Amino acid sequence: MKIREIYELAIAKGMESDPRGLEAVQKFLAREKEKYEKMREDEKEEYDLERLVNPYDDTRVLVGDPEREVRRVLVGIDMEVGEVLLADRLGEKGRPVDLIISHHPEGKAMASLYQVMHLQEDVLARFGVPINVAEGIMSSRIAEVKRGILPLNHNRAVDAARILGLAFMSVHTAADNLVASYLQKLMDEKQPETLGDVLKLLKEQPEYREAIKYKAGPTIVVGARERRAGKIMVDMTGGTSGSEDAYAKLAQAGVGTLLVMHMGEKHRKEAEKNHINVIIAGHMASDSLGMNLFLDELEARGVEIIPCAGLLRFSRRS
């Protein structure tokens, strides 16, 4: 495969599993095109043209020729300068890496992370929060994340890859959509009665079983095993953690349990205050599941996968 084809496949798979639905994502891209066409010429010069075809600002080819052929990729959850040097070292040892793929965004993909958080507004609306309320809740949180990103030195790993002549891309929300869709479908189909039943379902997935060995498996942080789960919301996409103001609205909308990758203490306390159960499935395990669903597609097309940096690689191709 070429780098361009891998990038386009990531976008396509992300859109197929987008919680907004494919039609809504296509409307989003159409609105973006309209906005671009109305821009002044100086604004167009600064505009990221990828936004016209890719709804995920945190999924980008960061450096490298898009037409480069790829036979082997080095993939991890966090690919930073150390992992870039690992890719270079593998080349010296006779296993040349054609492309580095990071799940968590680097470079301009990290700088634009806050843009994908608008997806969370639609996720909240899907679970019964009025869209006007969801947009109001998220606006201050998105602005907070944007300000937090501003001082970061986000291009370090990308610069290292460029100097060493290596290609580098990130696949973030596109992969998070895959895990969110996969687990929501699983919960909707199996209808687990208690939080203990939810844990059992998670542990049937190899990524979560493996994470238990590293003391990073699924855990209940609000509630208890015997508590009834009620309506389960899988919240694993949309850039980063949303607004802590959402939990009261979710409780009013009838959500009983949140299944998440991770959760800060302030958010956990708000969920507890509103009597919403919370299960943290595990960050690396959940990210690995989403990436594995994408990597299976690459492997099926003949690309060799070298996992590292927190990626728990399990194939579902069989």
Could you tell me the residue ranges of all domains in the chain?
3-172+286-307, 179-283
The two tokens of residue 309 are: 């940096």
Residues 6+ apart with CB under 8 A from 102: 75, 76, 77, 78, 79, 83, 157, 168, 169, 170, 171, 309
Could you tell me the pLDDT band of residue 243, with boundaries at 50, 70 and 90? Answer: confident
The CB density around residue 70, as the number of other CB atoms within 10 Å, is: 22
pLDDT average, residue stretch 185-205:
98
Strands (E), 64-159: 72-76, 99-102
**Integer Cα distance of 110 and 58 in angstroms:** 6
Could you tell me the pLDDT band of residue 18, with boundaries at 50, 70 and 90? Answer: very high
pLDDT average, residue stretch 175-184:
98
Could you tell me the pLDDT band of residue 238, with boundaries at 50, 70 and 90? Answer: confident
Domain 179-283: assigned CATH number: 3.40.1390
What is the maximum span of the chain, computed from C-alpha positions, in angstroms?
Answer: 61
Beta bridge partners of 257: 232, 277
pLDDT average, residue stretch 223-241:
94
CB 101 within 8 A of CB 74: yes
Beta bridge partners of 69: 2
pLDDT digit string, tens, across residues 112-154: 999 999 999 999 999 999 999 999 999 999 999 999 999 999 9
